[in-house]
Amino acid sequence: MQNPTWQESVYAALKAANVTMIGYVPDAGHAHLIKAAHADPDVQAVVLTTEEEGIALAAGAWLGGKRCAILMQSSGVGNCINMLSLPLNCRIPFLTLVTMRGEWGEFNPWQVPMGAATQPVLTAAGVHVRRADRPDEVAEMVGASAALAFDSQIPVAVLFSQRLIGAKVFVK
């Protein structure tokens, strides 16, 4: 049997943390997690129109006794800032996995400003930020971050670096 990919290990880490709801904005870097969530009868997968919806969805899930993680891209982090007052004020956990753009071999200059601002903006908004650069550290980091978020009831973001996920290749 083949060793699991790091993406499969990340999904397993979410399951081990008892995450049973996953909200997402479509993203190539999260494609495996999105597909796995939809294929999993024990997980509710919710497609969002914008990332801030996910913060409210996750807060509602927690109020109802479920754990929800939100998948987004760095460009979407900027859409979330005011809504982050919800988990912070209410001491509601928040876990988001953020694929990074605009930092490693980026082709599209429109991704660069928010990519560069992602970590400081999250930190300024009160979110604890972890960053994964290597395949062998990602799943453990997601598991530890889920424990931090749901057990200590704080907002946590795990950034998946662009070097990790691979720069998007544009071909004509």
Partner 1 sequence: MTMRNDGTLDRRVVVAELMRDPGDLLVVTGLGAATYDVGAAGDRPTNFYLWGAMGGAAMIGLGIALAQPTKRVLVVTGDGEQLMGMGALATTAAAGAKNLSIAVLDNARFGETGSQLSHTGLGADLAAVAAACGWQNVATARDMDEVAALRLRLRTESLFAVLSISAEEKIRHLPPRDGAYLADRFRRALGVVEA
- 10 Å Cβ neighbour count for 10? 26
CA dihedral 109, 160, 64, 55 (to 10 degrees): -20
Sole window of 31-39, 66-74, 107-115, 130-138 interacting with partner 1 (rule: CB under 8 A): 66-74
* Size of residue set near partner 1 by CB under 8 A: 32
The answer to whether residue 152 forms part of the interface with partner 1 (CB under 8 A) is no
- 10 Å Cβ neighbour count for 110? 11
User: What is the rounded distance in angstroms from the CA atom of residue 106 to the CA atom of residue 170?
Assistant: 10
Contact 68, 55 (CB under 8 A): no
Sole window of 4-12, 33-41, 56-64, 105-113 interacting with partner 1 (rule: CB under 8 A): 56-64
The answer to whether residue 16 forms part of the interface with partner 1 (CB under 8 A) is no
User: Using CB under 8 A, which residues numbered 70 to 129 contact partner 1?
Assistant: 82-83, 85-86, 89-92
The answer to whether residue 57 forms part of the interface with partner 1 (CB under 8 A) is yes
Q: Which of 6, 11, 62, 160 binds partner 1 (CB under 8 A)?
A: 62
User: What is the rounded distance in angstroms from the CA atom of residue 126 to the CA atom of residue 10?
Assistant: 24
Question: Cβ 61 to partner 1, closest distance in Å?
Answer: 4
User: What is the rounded distance in angstroms from the CA atom of residue 19 to the CA atom of residue 146?
Assistant: 9
Q: Which residues pair with 22 in a beta bridge?
A: 45, 69
The answer to whether residue 156 forms part of the interface with partner 1 (CB under 8 A) is no
The answer to whether residue 50 forms part of the interface with partner 1 (CB under 8 A) is yes
Which stretches of the chain bind partner 1, using CB under 8 A? 21, 44, 46-50, 52-68, 82-83, 85-86, 89-92
